[in-house]
């Protein structure tokens, strides 16, 4: 599909010159960002064709906001581009969510397969049509009860020794003397290797 650069330039000038259309352009870009649509020629075609139709509709429906018209046309374009990935039975209120899932699942390093049936096997297309989002099952409340820690016999002896020595540890003078003694042993041990 070849679009002349002059036409694209005129369309962009028209969009940039109107605050209403500029806001619509930003909102639709935000929507496509939310869908994780990469900045490729596909995205440009979605934007340009959507805005072309929205501008035409705005002439017939002057009191409808431009953002609403642009969003409807972008949604129609996405519906058309992803028609081979989404089952016809999907309701309109779920279609946007399903499109987001399909775009996420078909994403690759270079972008995505937006509308390109020749890059996917029939098995992949069929699998993507059958994918359904389902709510997770309700969580079950776990019963967690606290149990006391059980120490081994050496651990129990260490605990009883610590309990016996705890009054000494509360004495600051003893703690300083004990700490300095340990430090002296470390220094002597490092100077004179036994």
Q: Give the tens place of pLDDT for each residue, 139-154.
A: 777 777 888 878 888 8
CA distances from 78 to 37, 101, 166, 175 (A): 11, 13, 73, 74
- When the pLDDT of each residue in the chain is averaged and rounded to a whole number, the result is 78
Q: For 18-28, write each residue's pLDDT tens digit.
A: 888 888 888 98
Among 82, 8, 20, CA closest to 45: 8
Burial class for 191, CB neighbours closer than 10 Å (0-12, 13-18, 19+): exposed
The pTM assigned to this predicted structure is: 0.55
Q: Distance between CA atoms of 13 and 22, rounded to whole angstroms?
A: 10
Closest among 128, 126, 134 to 107, alpha carbons compared: 128
Residue 81 has pLDDT above 80, yes or no: no
Q: Which of 31, 65, 61, 62 is nearest to 47 (CA)?
A: 31
Phi-psi category of 60—alpha, beta or left, where left has phi over 0 and alpha has psi -120 to 50? alpha
**Cα 48 to Cα 40: distance, rounded to the nearest angstrom:** 13
C-beta separation of 37 from 114 below 8 A:
yes
CA count, 13 A, side-chain hemisphere, 170: 6
Sequence-distant (≥ 6) Cβ neighbours of residue 27 within 8 angstroms: 67, 70, 71
Half-sphere CA count of 65, side-chain side, radius 13 A: 10
Assign 133 a pLDDT band (cuts: 50, 70, 90). low
């Amino acid at each position: 599909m070849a679009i002349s650069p002059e036409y694209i330039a005129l369309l962009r000038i028209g969009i940039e010159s109107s605050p209403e259309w500029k806001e619509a352009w930003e909102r639709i870009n935000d929507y496509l960002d939310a869908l994780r649509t990469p900045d490729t020629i596909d995205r440009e075609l979605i934007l340009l064709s959507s805005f072309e139709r929205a501008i035409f509709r705005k002439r017939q429906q002057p009191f409808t906001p431009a953002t609403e018209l642009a969003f409807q046309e972008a949604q129609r374009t996405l519906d058309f581009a992803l028609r081979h990935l989404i089952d016809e039975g999907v309701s309109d209120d779920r279609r946007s969510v399903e499109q987001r899932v399909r775009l996420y699942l078909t994403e690759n390093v270079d972008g995505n397969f937006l509308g390109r049936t020749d890059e996917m096997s029939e098995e992949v297309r069929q699998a993507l049509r059958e994918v359904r989002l389902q709510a997770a099952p309700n969580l079950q409340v776990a019963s967690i009860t606290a149990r006391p820690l059980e120490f081994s016999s050496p651990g129990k002896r260490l605990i009883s020794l610590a309990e016996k020595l705890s009054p000494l540890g509360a004495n600051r003078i003893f703690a300083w003397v004990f700490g300095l003694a340990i430090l002296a042993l470390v220094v002597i041990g490092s100077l004179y290797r036994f």
